[in-house]
Amino acid sequence: MNDQSIELVIIFKENELSSIPLFNYFRETIPKFFGIGFNEISYSVKGKNNKKREKSLKYKTSNLEKYINELTDNDGGFELSNYLTDIKFKSRDINVSISYNPHMYLDDSSSIIITLNKNLHFNNNGLESLKSFYIQMLNFLIKIQKKITYGFITSIENMKFPALFVAGIGNYNLSKKEEEELQVWTNKNSESVFKIWRVFWGNLITISHLKPGVSIDKIKKVVGENNFLLINNDTCFFNLPNDDLLYGNEHIVIKNDLLKLLYSLTA
């Protein structure tokens, strides 16, 4: 099987940008959790005629300070990355990457997208540590007053450019069904406030995703208590009761049972 990347996505609403708190948070937590640092920082700045220009700089103190000093001239977003040694495409050949994307979606929602080389993670860690990191990140976003609306965890074959795929802007080496699901996400991601994209291995939902008469407890009954975590009265995280994160390999019976309970953009 082709190499894979794990994608951790959280979508949220924010009244004001939190560039510096998020910047500092991920600079500290990613190396601690995954045992690898960054070698590049990227962000956009306004050029001539207010056109955006992408900056990609070596990850060092002076350039980190440059990003902070130029916040008034950019949209507040950033990407911190560490690439494979045999890199050919920056958007694919990733050890670890974290991007903060303010007002990325059609409804003005923002997102955090983390791409993690699957082999790199599982050489030293397991699924529980991955879930633990995701929940820790989620709690931090809640702490800084972000309104969580949706999220998911999956893995995707690298030849399909996972980071671009989950952002809704990539279309590489996909099956017909994958192309159709991507197109739906690209066109209707603003509806993720009340419709999940699809059932992934890991799913972050709110009560807005539940069909009429469905309680969050019904989700727990389908996936099992050990695979369910109530975040607050409105939000929960659950994962499928297996260790296969791969997009498209979700347990069909459990997936169908969940789709009976949740509004979804795709079947």
Q: Interhelix angle for 216-223 vs 252-259, to 10°?
A: 170
Residues 6+ apart with CB under 8 A from 209: 150, 194, 195, 196, 262, 263
* 3-state secondary structure at position 98: strand
User: Tens digits of per-residue pLDDT, 16-67?
Assistant: 889 999 999 999 999 999 889 999 999 988 767 777 788 999 999 999 999 9
- Phi/psi of residue 80, each to 5°? -110, 130
Mean of pLDDT over the chain:
93
Q: pTM of the predicted model, to two decimals? A: 0.95
User: Tens digits of per-residue pLDDT, 132-189?
Assistant: 999 999 999 999 999 999 999 999 999 999 999 999 988 889 999 999 999 999 999 9
Cα distances (Å, whole numbers) of residue 74 to 47, 68, 78, 174, 204: 10, 10, 9, 33, 30
What's the rounded mean pLDDT across residues 127-131? 94
Which of 259, 222, 264 has its CA nearest to residue 241?
A: 222
Question: Left if phi > 0, otherwise alpha if psi is -120 to 50, otherwise beta: which for 262?
Answer: beta
